[in-house]
Amino acid sequence: MIDTLLRDLRQPEYIHVLINPLPIYGLAMGWVGLVIALFLRSRRAQIATLAIVLISAASAWPVYEFGQQAYDRVLSMTDEDGKAWLDAHEDRAEDLIYSFYALALLSVVAILVPMKWPRSSVPLALAVIILGVVVIGIGAYIAQAGGKIRHREFRNESPPPKSASVNSTASVTTDTLATAAFASDN
């Protein structure tokens, strides 16, 4: 049993699936706690919940990294529709990961700045709440495509089309090869 667990922990796709709920669920819990802390007007509760938001937002980085490492292995196990969802999941994560980093940074600012300027605590906490709800939505958007990669039962819509950059690159490459072949024949 221990050998199996250790083998699983060496697989990036396993680690990705294991930790990918942390950013969304952790942010949601931290967000609820921060709203409560604001209503209670408790700076200590704000600091505790801002720390939860910070840790949860920062956990998006290893989720992203393990997802990148797992791409080829998951691609080899997936059907055609799953491949389209995998590409959409990767594109969404690559484009939107920075929102998690911004929230983590804002959380650090909301913890530290009020130590010097106490009146900034409520506006900064409100900024974390607003950005937090946006980032939770972004996380759900990324996860929505991820859940459809291997779970056919969640595929209640057509797979997303290939991204324009992939299609245009293939088109340019094909045109370039055709032109080169034509030039070599003449």
Q: Rounded to whole angstroms, how far apart are CA atoms 104 and 99?
A: 9
Closest CA to 110 of 32, 60, 45, 61: 45
Closest CA to 78 of 159, 165, 167: 159
Q: Rounded to whole angstroms, how far apart are CA atoms 112 and 123?
A: 13
pTM listed for this prediction: 0.81
pLDDT along the chain (186 residues), means of 10: 80 85 96 97 97 97 91 84 89 95 98 96 97 96 87 76 52 42 43
The pLDDT value given to residue 110: 98
Rg (CA), the chain: 22
